[in-house]
Structure 1
Amino acid sequence: MSLFNRKYIAPPSSPIISNTTRIRSASLATNSAYGRGFFEPGAYSIALKRCENGHDLAQQLADMFDERAQIELAYANQLRHWSYKWRNELSKSQEYGTNKKVWDQLATTGEPMAYVHSTLSASLSESLIPNLRQWRKEHYERYLLHYKKTKEFERDFLDAQKSWNKLLDKISECKSMYYSACKASKLASEAENKSIYYLACKSSKLVDDAESKSSGEQRKKLADKVDTARREIIFTRTKYQQAINEAREQRPNYESTMKTIFERTQAFEKRRLDFFKETYDEYAKILEIATIDNSILKTMNANFKASLLVHDSLQDLLWWDQNYGTQTNSRWPEYEEYID
């Protein structure tokens, strides 16, 4: 049975254990995943799981960018279709003048916008996503059903805990033997006390020599059992305390080894986080180029604003008046002589 699966019994306060040690022990006992300290047997698995998760998270990020690229491409195609459709509709409409020119320019903006979004899609598909997947492939090399780096960390953690786990098993065994000795001593003392009480009750009665001799022998046996049980308590308690002291002696070296391996997992995870940060920065640059610093968008905006400058409602009304309104040449009724 594992030492950490047993019911916890608070040890007596000891000047050997400093307040700092108690604080550190309390903080280490709050592992969010298991409710156990990292140095407890097998609790390092959360660090291995984080390494495994790094591959899946890189895949998720690549999938997210891929979905964005598909959205951008689909939107670009829709913009082109939208621009073509409405320029064609406008050419067949009854709109006229400068208002028609501005409207046509508005519909034309779909083309450069489509180019911008298709370029953004291409940047994601041809640069960002392949780089992300290549990085994942290089850093998460497969080893059978697991990743090579994860197996390496797991092997080192197992080696680091091998002797420590043996010591914990030894402590658990010594503790169990000590507790059993305490229980046996208690039972022996209770049996002896019952025997003394029984003999006291019969002291007022006449008993023959044989019965008296038998009772004396039984009492001696019980006393011997009590004495043996007490010696067993001393022996097992000493073994238990020696095992605890051995753990205290080995703890610094064990902690140091575990921390060294843990820091390697931290460094491995840091490389992932740093690469993700670089990926985010690259994505920000792609968006900036596609929007803020895009010359095509600037030209599109300039052309559209220029078309707005020529928009003149009065001129359009005048043109309409001249071509379809009161200023057109109307045929007025006149007298026409009959010609044979």
Structure 2
Amino acid sequence: MSPSDSSILNGETALESFWEIGQYKRSVRRIEDAPRLCSELSLLIRERSEIEAAYAKSLQQWSKKWSEHVDKGVEYGSAQEAWKAILHEGRSKADLHLQRRDRLIDEVFNVIKIWSKDNFHKTAFGAVKEGKEIEEAFKRAQKPWAKLYGKILKAKREYFSSSRMERSAENQEKNAAGNPEMSREQVKKFHEKMVKCQTERQKAEEEYRKTVSAIFDYKSTYQADMMQVFKRCQELELKRLKFFKEMLKGAHDCLNMLNSIYEQFLSTVTSVDAEKDVQNWEKEFGPGMPFNCPVFETYTPEVREIVKKRNKVAGDEPVVLLSKRESIADPNADNCLVEPLDDKSKMTNSSDVTTHCIDEWDESGDIFEKLGDEDEQGWCKGRKDGITGLYPANYAVDLKA
């Protein structure tokens, strides 16, 4: 389901809910991201071990250089021993950093690599096998719902379309009945068309209500099937988060030389709450998101509806126009068209053609102002008595011509 389809059904879209078609992919992506996170954490640990080794090497070089200098120097007695004490501290600290390096590699880096290899596997095409399995399970759980959802979208489009046709037919019948130039037979045809459109609208509305009822009845089954698959995602993610917490605490133990330095580090790692993390994720991106079950929506007519074919000629079915009225009293009003009259053409209704625009230019011989050229559908914008609307281009003649 595309965002536009969702907006058709629910009226608006923000962050797509877990329950919407295809939105389970966020949950699948968590599983697919896990091997990459393992690689990134192991790289982080390896780089830190390299820093420890580099620092140890620098301390060793520093200690060796100055030990030779002190031994050959002019300092003597107890003062010379004090010099050697700080050099001994450097050698001892270098050994300690090398121990850090070895423990980080053996107790953290290698363990992460083994755990990742045991828990995540690649398919022949390089995808994460566990992620593909979860995705297929979600697809199976969502397939019946998606099928019902597609029927709703189709039924709704047909219902809205037939409602527009019915409204158009009613307006045409009304205009024809009030037109003295229309024969009784012509008025009868318009009435028959209106009755037919009304029947089609009623049929479409009944089908729409039926599909909405069907998807509502299936709602509980759909939710149960999706939750079953989602729990598998949660279990895998919970396992990964707990393992990462264990590894980071292990890194702390490897690096904990001075408690005062690493006290905050330990506090931060210890405060990791894997259970709370997955629960919050469920609320924000999983089944805890709002469930917007489709409901029946009553048709509401648009601001303007035009039923016209470009190639129709005078004498074909009349055009129904619901014009958008805009006052020209306030020059600062939004979308208000105020152009000087002398810059526009003056038009008049052709006496041999009848227009059927509601409340506007409905008498032959009326003079009004042309505001724009003919568009690709054969309509022009005009203004009369402060009212802006559309009129068929071939229904009027230019007085300047």
TM-score (norm 2): 0.61
Aligned to 1:238: 206
Aligned to 2:127: 146
1:65 equivalent to 2:45? Answer: yes
Q: Is the 8 A contact 1:86 1:107 kept in 2?
A: yes
The number of aligned residues is: 258
> What are the Cα deviations for residues 316-339 of structure 1, in whole angstroms up to 9, with x where unaligned?
xxxxxxxxxxxxxxxxxxxxxxxx
> What are the Cα deviations for residues 23-52 of structure 1, in whole angstroms up to 9, with x where unaligned?
xxx9xx86xxxx110010111111111111
Match of 1:105 among 80, 85, 90: 85
Match of 2:166 among 182, 185, 188: 185
For the residues of structure 1 that align with 2:175 and 2:6, how far apart are their CA atoms?
A: 33
**Identity %, equivalent residues:** 28
Deviation at 1:286, TM superposition (A): 1.9
Q: 1:110 to 1:6 in 2, by over 3 A?
A: closer
> What are the Cα deviations for residues 255-274 of structure 1, in whole angstroms up to 9, with x where unaligned?
11111111110110001001
Q: CA RMSD in A?
A: 2.1
Aligned to 2:226: 258
Q: 1:216 to 1:69 in 2, by over 3 A?
A: same
Deviation at 1:7, TM superposition (A): 4.1
Aligned to 2:315: none
Q: Is the 8 A contact 1:87 1:108 kept in 2?
A: no
| Equivalent position SS for 2:95 | helix
Aligned to 1:43: 23
> What are the Cα deviations for residues 233-285 of structure 1, in whole angstroms up to 9, with x where unaligned?
11111110111111111111101111111111011000100100111222222
Aligned to 1:280: 248
How do 1:154-169 and structure 2 match up within 5 A? 154-169=135-150
Aligned to 1:270: 238
Aligned to 1:297: none
For the residues of structure 2 that align with 1:10 and 1:54, how far apart are their CA atoms?
A: 34
Contiguous gaps of at least 5 residues in structure 2: 260-401
Paired residue type of 1:228:
K
Q: 1:252 to 1:3 in 2, by over 3 A?
A: farther
Aligned to 1:326: none
| Equivalent position SS for 1:273 | helix
| Equivalent position SS for 2:178 | helix
Q: 1:174 to 1:2 in 2, by over 3 A?
A: farther
For the residues of structure 1 that align with 2:158 and 2:61, how far apart are their CA atoms?
A: 84
Aligned to 2:152: 171
> What are the Cα deviations for residues 171-216 of structure 1, in whole angstroms up to 9, with x where unaligned?
00000000010011011111111211113xx5xxxxxxxxx8xx22
For the residues of structure 1 that align with 2:38 and 2:7, how far apart are their CA atoms?
A: 42
Match of 1:127 among 102, 107, 114: 107
Q: 1:7 to 1:285 in 2, by over 3 A?
A: closer
For the residues of structure 1 that align with 2:9 and 2:113, how far apart are their CA atoms?
A: 51
Q: Is the 8 A contact 1:3 1:169 kept in 2?
A: no
Deviation at 1:94, TM superposition (A): 2.1
Deviation at 1:97, TM superposition (A): 2.3
Deviation at 1:8, TM superposition (A): 4.8
| Equivalent position SS for 2:179 | helix
Q: Is the 8 A contact 2:159 2:201 kept in 1?
A: yes
Q: 1:84 to 1:262 in 2, by over 3 A?
A: same
Deviation at 1:127, TM superposition (A): 2.8
Deviation at 1:142, TM superposition (A): 0.3
| Equivalent position SS for 1:36 | coil
Aligned to 2:190: 222
Q: Is the 8 A contact 2:56 2:94 kept in 1?
A: yes
Aligned to 1:91: 71
Name the stretch that deviates more: 58-67 or 69-78. 69-78
| Equivalent position SS for 1:142 | coil
Q: 1:2 to 1:244 in 2, by over 3 A?
A: farther
Q: Is the 8 A contact 1:2 1:168 kept in 2?
A: no
Q: Which runs of 4+ in 1 moved over 6 A?
A: none
For the residues of structure 1 that align with 2:231 and 2:133, how far apart are their CA atoms?
A: 14
Q: Is the 8 A contact 2:151 2:211 kept in 1?
A: yes
Q: 1:79 to 1:36 in 2, by over 3 A?
A: same
> What are the Cα deviations for residues 136-164 of structure 1, in whole angstroms up to 9, with x where unaligned?
11111001231111000000111111111
- Greater relative contact order (CA < 8 Å, ≥ 6 in sequence): 1
Paired residue type of 2:254:
I
